[in-house]
Structure 1
Amino acid sequence: MTVQGTGADVRTRLRRLLRHRTTWALTAATLVGAVLGAGLVGWRTGTLPWSQELRPCWDSLSDETLDTLMAGAGRREAEEQKLLGPGWTARCRVLAYSREEHRQDDVAARLDITVRTLDTLSGRDAHAWSAEFLSTGLTPLGGGLRGMASRSRAWLALPQQCVDGEDPVVVEARMGNQDKEDLISPERRYGMARAVVETANGLLGAYGCTGRHRLPRPPRDLDEDAQEEREKKRDGAARAALCGLAGAPVPQEHGTWLRRAARNWVDGGPARVCGMGHPHADFEARLVTVVDPELSLVFRAEALGGGPEISDSELGRGAFTTGRAVFMTRCQTGDVVFLAEQTHGKDSDWTFVRDVFPLYVAAEADRLGCGPQKVTMPKT
């Protein structure tokens, strides 16, 4: 179903909807005059009962997914922006209200869905988006899906052949407090993963693209999955000793950091992330390898001109600043990006990135079969 229609079509649809018994509320097709951000489209406004024929977020989200994410809440309402086609930003929001009679106007849960094109020109998303969505708090969706999910964040890249241009288009989902990412919650993560996959499938249909993503597998048993997740982290830490730098000549003063980081290790998806948290930031330091060629484009502008140049043989380009280094090179699977970043630390000279990054690039390039990569950091 599309979000457009004639006045007669809309009236006919509304009469049909009103005959259904439901607890949903849906925004009508009347567009308000206000514009929101770069999308230049307004929210649909007004409330009407929901039916089984229409689902929130461009007819995408199922009751099962919303029940998983909003269990125990009362009535739900949805509002969404008009879809203008691939490459255009659009937003959807689902609100669940309290069941308590005297608090029925209080929002008990909120799910925000955004579809947008990642910025590959300014380098803004190389910083802000990667800090939020390429984190050890998220784990890969699995099943060949190009995305990751946690209890409060999830994202999924749409197939490139279905969108205009070469820039990656992603579905993002946010719900709850990102500061609690370390809490093990397989059910919530499963709900967030379903939310981005269902939304992506709805968009593929709206854009006229063939094929649909398979939904993530549900957790078998919450306690069993929680134990399995803990075991995976321990096994991952053992395999990822010093973030893949075991045997490399890592300066002694950075060994403690790397041992801490190796306890938080995410692999098997579009990016490999090794990092440590900080009480007042998303991370204290991290090492990232982006293996998805389309996602690597987000870092291209920074690699080509984001600071003093990192030199290499003729295999790649990179840039370095005091607390961050990025290097982009070509492997058999396409473009790959290596990233090191430090946001906090007792190191007053901020030497972590300068000392560790060349070792990390060499180790990861060898692991991926990219050929020998010997980067040289600039002196300034």
Structure 2
Amino acid sequence: MTGEDDPKEKSDMNDNPEDPGTPAPPSAPGAPGRLRRMARSRGGIAVVGALVGALLGTGVMSWRAGDLPFAARDMCWGSLSPDVAEALFTDTDVRSDELPLRRATEDSMHTECSMQGFGDDELESEVTASVRTLGELRGAQAWDWTRQYLSSRMTPLGDGITGMASSQRAWVALPTSCHERSYEPGEKPPLRVVTLASGASDPDSVNEVDARRGLDAMSRAVVRLANGVMDEYGCEGRYPDPPKLPGPPEGKSVKALDNDRLCGLRGVELPGWARGEDVSAARTTPGTEADGPVTGGVRSCDVGRPFALDRIRLTTVADPKLAGVVSRVLGERADRLGGDGKGAHAGGLTIYTADCQRGRAAFVAWEKNPADDADDADDTAGGRRSLGLTVLPSYVKTEAKRAGCGEVNVKVPSLPTT
């Protein structure tokens, strides 16, 4: 999805650090991939050794003391071995450039590492690793991260790892032991994550083979990245490599929509005025069931056409720390909603939060193009037809029970029905 409608609260909006552009090649690229691969073989070692000797004899080549020529080095703060990093690309020379791994500051972006794939010395693709403090994000920045990293393309990593991955995105939460100061009882440390980003967060088309390969590579790399960062920070504990994840959400996971059980949820219906070809398919977070627990703390459902699931997204965030990030998306200028919890609505985005057994939970309804159903004369929450506001009360009531929040009733403005 590339044409998003951001919330009205844009005071915190900066350039999106998670959708990397195409920077110039690093000034000090690594060794060419062919030589690197040659250096790993027994026969290649002899060839490379002879070549190095010849170059040294003529004074053509030099390197820093302690470095081996053509030796493949671990990337991104020593976290990613060459085989893990190269699996993120397709038969290219991989080079990296990184900023120092700093401790937390008031800046929500701690640091970044860029891995670039070159073919014939031309930049073909890029994967960006970063260490972020989500607790510092507000407004459009918080929404941009939520939109990219909590979509229905993302698969929970499982095995006690708080994180998700797709063929284009991945994130893992760092443990509280990575905080450089202690916190008072009741004080909540900010959520910090390591992320990987490659290309568009919601590409128009990815075949199942490439999606499977990308998902496996991203999930393994982001866990290794998290462990490397934890080593550098001196944190306690390490994450195991993720298990084989459910199939990626491309292709077969897109299912025909049941109008009477929207996203498979009993009691959540699609209103009559929204039914039709534009709302005929749905995709839900892989590995989750409509009647089961919220695996990994997040469940999303994208609804629309089979190849353009951009009519509405419904998301349940049962992880309290993530819910805290989501709750800060909408600012004071949003229209407030009533009921047993707290909520707000602005543009095509509606967010409602409730206090549950595990802590705060958040429920999100996002319409990518709300103007399609808007009354130009009155664009307030109560003056236009809104699919998000229409389904939100039944969606929250159903999902809140499943998330352990009990009965949660939502009050929205009276909405037009025709």
Aligned to 1:172: 195
Residue from 198, 216, 234 that aligns with 1:208 = 234
Q: In the superposition, relative to structure 1, how do residues 231 and 285 fare at CA in structure 2: closer, same or farther (>3 Å)? A: closer
Aligned to 2:402: 367
Residue identity opposite 2:323 in structure 1: S
Residue identity opposite 2:175 in structure 1: P
Q: In the superposition, relative to structure 1, how do residues 351 and 368 fare at CA in structure 2: closer, same or farther (>3 Å)? A: same
Q: Tell me the distance in 2 between the aligned counterparts of 1:67 and 1:254.
A: 45
Aligned to 2:4: none
Q: In the superposition, relative to structure 1, how do residues 120 and 89 fare at CA in structure 2: closer, same or farther (>3 Å)? A: closer
Residue identity opposite 1:311 in structure 2: G
Deviation per CA, 1:170-212, whole angstroms, max 9, x where unpaired? 1111123441465322121111111211111011111111111
How many Å apart are 1:51 and its aligned residue? Answer: 3.9
How many Å apart are 1:89 and its aligned residue? Answer: 1.0
Helix, strand or coil at the partner of 1:310: strand
Do the aligned partners of 1:117 and 1:167 also contact (CA within 8 Å) in 2?
yes
Do the aligned partners of 1:241 and 1:262 also contact (CA within 8 Å) in 2?
no
How many Å apart are 1:228 and its aligned residue? Answer: 10
Aligned to 2:207: 183
Q: How does 1:111-126 map to 2 (within 5 A)?
A: 111-120=127-136, 122-126=138-142
Aligned to 1:93: 114
Q: In the superposition, relative to structure 1, how do residues 247 and 295 fare at CA in structure 2: closer, same or farther (>3 Å)? A: closer
Q: Tell me the distance in 1 between the aligned counterparts of 2:190 and 2:222.
A: 19
Helix, strand or coil at the partner of 1:192: helix
Aligned to 2:175: 159
Deviation per CA, 1:77-105, whole angstroms, max 9, x where unpaired? 2111011224561110122322xxxx3x2
Q: Tell me the distance in 1 between the aligned counterparts of 2:194 and 2:348.
A: 29
Residue from 99, 112, 136 that aligns with 1:81 = 99
| 2:263 is the alignment partner of 1:243 | yes
Q: Which has the higher helix share?
A: 1
Q: In the superposition, relative to structure 1, how do residues 109 and 228 fare at CA in structure 2: closer, same or farther (>3 Å)? A: closer
Residue from 322, 333, 350 that aligns with 2:358 = 333
| 2:280 is the alignment partner of 1:260 | yes
How high is the TM-score relative to the length of structure 2? 0.68
Q: How does 1:121-140 map to 2 (within 5 A)?
A: 122-140=138-156
Residue identity opposite 2:267 in structure 1: G
Aligned to 2:334: 307
Residue from 210, 219, 224 that aligns with 1:193 = 219
Q: In the superposition, relative to structure 1, how do residues 208 and 226 fare at CA in structure 2: closer, same or farther (>3 Å)? A: closer
Do the aligned partners of 2:278 and 2:305 also contact (CA within 8 Å) in 1?
no
Q: Tell me the distance in 2 between the aligned counterparts of 1:82 and 1:282.
A: 39
RMSD: 3.6
Residue identity opposite 2:133 in structure 1: T
Query: Relative contact order (C-alpha < 8 Å, sep 6+): which is higher?
Result: 2
Do the aligned partners of 2:267 and 2:398 also contact (CA within 8 Å) in 1?
no
| 2:307 is the alignment partner of 1:287 | no
Identity of aligned residues (%): 31
Aligned to 2:20: none
5+ unaligned residues in a row in structure 2: which ranges? 1-30, 38-62, 181-187, 289-294, 375-383
5+ unaligned residues in a row in structure 1: which ranges? 1-17, 25-45, 220-224
Q: Tell me the distance in 2 between the aligned counterparts of 1:336 and 1:132.
A: 19
Do the aligned partners of 1:311 and 1:376 also contact (CA within 8 Å) in 2?
yes
Aligned to 2:161: 145
Do the aligned partners of 1:275 and 1:286 also contact (CA within 8 Å) in 2?
yes
| 2:331 is the alignment partner of 1:296 | no
Helix, strand or coil at the partner of 1:114: strand
Deviation per CA, 1:62-121, whole angstroms, max 9, x where unpaired? 2221232224213x32111011224561110122322xxxx3x21233221111112556
Q: How does 1:338-353 map to 2 (within 5 A)?
A: 338-344=363-369, 346-348=372-374, 349-353=384-388
Q: In the superposition, relative to structure 1, how do residues 230 and 379 fare at CA in structure 2: closer, same or farther (>3 Å)? A: closer
Aligned to 1:14: none
Aligned to 2:22: none
Q: In the superposition, relative to structure 1, how do residues 78 and 60 fare at CA in structure 2: closer, same or farther (>3 Å)? A: same
Residue identity opposite 2:223 in structure 1: V
Do the aligned partners of 1:89 and 1:115 also contact (CA within 8 Å) in 2?
yes
Task: Count residues in correspondence.
Answer: 325
Residue from 66, 74, 89 that aligns with 1:55 = 74
How high is the TM-score relative to the length of structure 1? 0.74
| 2:355 is the alignment partner of 1:321 | no
Do the aligned partners of 1:365 and 1:373 also contact (CA within 8 Å) in 2?
yes
